[in-house]
A and B are shown apart, each in its own frame.
Chain A
Amino acid sequence: MATSPKLDAKIPEGPLQEKWTRYRSTVPLVNPANKRNLEIIVVGTGLAGASAAASLAELGYKVKAFCFQDSARRAHSIAAQGGINAAKNYQNDGDSVYRLFYDTIKGGDYRAREANVYRLAEVSANIIDQCVAQGVPFAREYGGYLSNRSFGGTQVQRTFYAAGQTGQQLLLGAYSALMRQVALGQVQMFARHEMLNIVLIDGKARGIIARNLITGELERHFGHAVILASGGYGNVFYLSTNAMGSNATAIWKAHKKGAFFGNPCFTQIHPTCIPVSGDHQSKLTLMSESLRNDGRIWVPKKLEDAKAIREGRLNPNDIKEEDRDYYLERRYPAFGNLVPRDVASRAAKERCDAGYGVNATGEAVFLDFAYNLKYKYGMMEANRLGIKNPTEQQLKELGRPIVEEKYGNLFDMYKQITGVDPYENPMMIYPAVHYTMGGLWVDYNLMTTVPGLYALGEANFSDHGANRLGASALMQGLADGYFIIPYTIGAYLSNEIRTKPISTNHEAFVQAENEVKDQINRLMSIKGKHTVDHFHKRLGKIMWNKCGMSRNAKGLQEAIQEIRSLREEFWKDVKVPGTDKEFNPELEKAGRVADFLELAELMCIDALHRNESCGGHFREEYQTEDGEALRDDANFSYVAAWEFKELGNWELHKEELKFENIKVAQRSYK
């Protein structure tokens, strides 16, 4: 297989360990006086966008930052709970840059680019330094040193955290850096603005069209370069752990203007989410993966017990130890409950499909803390206090405060949502859509196939291959924004110092704006019968059933047809109330769903073409005898980058993945 000539990843020469260092010392620079004249547009103020906007402004560039929320601080990164990885080896447990690199490649089922991942692992340590300097209050030990925990798919403790609110604290750190630059006049902030189109002039990205969400006005903004850091597209499934507003619009519009879309079908289904409770459900809530450190996952061994629990006749606490099936510990003794997400999710689905599900819908398994609460933490405390032969009750009382300190906010959240107290009863969990590894294809510089257009964070096809390890998205977002783009964008902008700001009256701006106007007018004029949510929910069902946790060729082919006809129906029958010249959340949603309806098709096409199982992409036709994913390295060791031709017609380009520093192996967590 050869890499398509349209995909030059621009990986620097030299040994893996030296690529980034060499790159940094040789990349062309822009002198400070010129930086002042260069304008950069950053769409998105999540970890990736805020860190990029702040860092670029610190360097002296003129930055315009956009987000659709009312404040930059509310980007979806805020919701990340568990933690952020970094190869600091503070725990002296054998971590290193190479090991983080190795774990990430392996965790991603060998579908990520070596050079990028290695660089990510290299800069990971700087991220923690930067965040601590900003005043991010990470968890600490009594001696004042930083504390770590472990996460799925790894055997070292390299995850830094701030209780169950790591994303929040990191984002507030980046947000504060951003606000500082706003105060200094280096960044112009546009909150409640949604980017709706990209402007290309002579093939280069030169600006965006954004809608002021309060007034409904369309605005034209020029930039010498445009950075998209608009997050993931998990909401294509309607129900996901993403925020309600998370969307694909920014990257989708860019895709339609020439940016190739990488691995669109790689979706991460997170194993520990609160199960669906009814039709009214608008989103799913994640229970942090860190819970798997101390929670044990099980279903009853006997079908009749499972049935009795479903019907409410049996209390799970009454099931005897020997009648419980700790299926992850059984199947994967080496990693147990800490297997990677894709593996854990599929295992839960397998048990539920086999009839062992434990809630009314049959789609839930237990995540049980009783054991560790009593025998790990309770016993630890008993030993500390010198209590000999403690009773069960004593152990429970001793262990509870420790569990409370570690997971209190998560337990409260669970209780709030379900009305069940997880200190007394095991939690019920089920997998849910969580993260999209796919995104705009980017080269080593994080530039898309459109010159001057960059994609950062979850919006790019990323360093996570076919499956992302826990606590690595925060790392990637901040690596991209703080430490990579400030260097790599210079390589492009050093050639742009003579480009004068282009007037937004340029015909390219006019045309891009007209495209947006047309779409809005079309949406407003349909005046059909069904709401936007109606279509979104139906799309979600198709995607979850046929392009979700497990996929097969027949289902995917059906899905493509169903999506096409749903899309047609949408454009005939959607109902958008109000006008476009006012604050109109329904219109915003309509535009986003219109894009999801196109992206969904590409996801299915991608899933259909990839005749192998890898990471989060599980094709039922390709599995081992004991139900594990079966990769096909001979034929599919590539990134699928799709070029948009017209709706319903995409051209596939392949970027071959070469593994020179890592031995490709069957992923095993046994």
Chain B
Amino acid sequence: MKITLKVWRQKNKQDAGHFETYQLDNVSPDMSFLEMFDVLNEKLISEGKEPVAFDHDCREGICGMCSMYINGRPHGPLRGVTTCQLHMRSFKDGDTIVVEPWRSTAFPVIKDLTVDRSAFDRIIQAGGYISVNTGSARDANNILVPKENADKAFLAAACIGCGACVAACKNASAMLFVAAKVSQFALLPQGQIERKQRVLNMVKKMDEEGFGNCTNTGACEAECPKGISLENIARMNREYICAALTSEK
């Protein structure tokens, strides 16, 4: 396959950045999207040019590191897959593909297609945990969880923290990511004790990091590679309302 790539190039945070166009003539449909970038980079290096910097690690859709905005959509044209799982058979010979980094004030560009997502870590630090020290746990089967709740909690916990929800959202809102974590714990008995403070703190942090406000467009759910559901956002809204109304602080 022949593919034309228009790729965002930006030297560093301060650089204004621009698009560059590259031509690849020998793309195999069995290649993954990132393998195509490997080929591009090999070519650039051999031509004495700078390769494109992009984030990736596991290349099997679970670490959440890869993050490309492909032809106007995070992780490209398919639903339910990450960039690394996207294969070139999803494109046609002769296609032009435009690749940009995630765009969000809270995710500044580090270089080319690489962005800084540490804001997500800071949100988790604000309350995305259960405060249990190692060694204090009781026997696992002493905590029973209805299967339905356990399954729902698992589905919420499946979030890989890739940030596609933020990238897709017109408001660059991180609600889906935060809601996934809040929901996971709200659904489990272990999460009840810190339930109220957790949602208040995490929402506060989310705002401080500069993410936008949710307007329920549903773009996040549609683009989330792990199919995290909007139900979680509703649940977080509920959690927030309950917690805020009953809070004594």
Contact = CB atoms under 8 A, between A and B. Distances in A.
Interface of A: 51, 54-55, 58, 69-74, 76, 78-79, 88, 90, 126, 128-146, 162-163, 165, 168-169, 172, 175-177, 179-180, 182-183, 189, 191, 214, 243-245, 277-278, 280-283, 285-286, 412-413, 416-417, 419, 482-483, 486, 529, 531, 533-534, 575, 577-578, 582-586
Contacts of A144: 144-147, 150
30 contacts: A69-B65, A70-B116, A70-B118, A71-B118, A73-B64, A78-B63, A79-B60, A88-B141, A90-B141, A132-B137, A133-B140, A134-B129, A135-B184, A140-B145, A140-B147, A144-B145, A165-B62, A168-B158, A168-B160, A169-B154, A169-B157, A179-B121, A180-B131, A278-B31, A280-B35, A282-B32, A416-B61, A419-B87, A482-B135, A483-B134
A81 B53 CA distance: 29
A55 B134 CA distance: 6
Nearest to A481: B134
Nearest to B88: A280
A244 B134 contact: no
Contacts, number: 226
B87 A417 contact: yes
Contact of B38 (A73, A180, A278, A280): A280
A243 B59 contact: yes
A54 B133 CA distance: 9
Interface stretch (B44-52, B208-216, B229-237, B238-246): B44-52
Contacts of B48: 577
A169 B188 CA distance: 14
A51, A129, A132, A137 — most chain B CB neighbours (10 Å): A137
Contacts of A244: 56-59
Contact of B117 (A70, A88, A165, A245): A70
A533 B114 CA distance: 20
Determine the interface band of chain B, counting residues with CB < 8 A from chain A. 35 or more
Nearest to B121: A71
B108 to A, nearest CB: 11
A88 B140 contact: yes
Contact of A413 (B35, B85, B121, B154): B85
B64 A74 contact: yes
B58 to A, nearest CB: 4
Given A243-B59, A419-B87, A132 B114 contact: no
A165 B158 contact: yes
A282 B158 CA distance: 25
Contacts of A143: 144
Contacts of B38: 280, 282, 533
A584 B188 CA distance: 42
Contacts of A280: 28, 30-31, 35, 38-39
Given A55-B133, A175-B124, 15 more contacts: A54-B134, A71-B118, A76-B58, A78-B63, A129-B138, A137-B188, A144-B147, A146-B141, A179-B128, A183-B126, A280-B30, A575-B46, A577-B45, A583-B53, A585-B53
Contacts of A51: 134
A390 to B, nearest CB: 27
Contacts of B134: 51, 54-55, 58, 130, 177, 482-483, 486
B130 A133 contact: yes
A144 B160 CA distance: 26
Contact of B125 (A142, A165, A183, A286): A183
Contacts of B131: 180
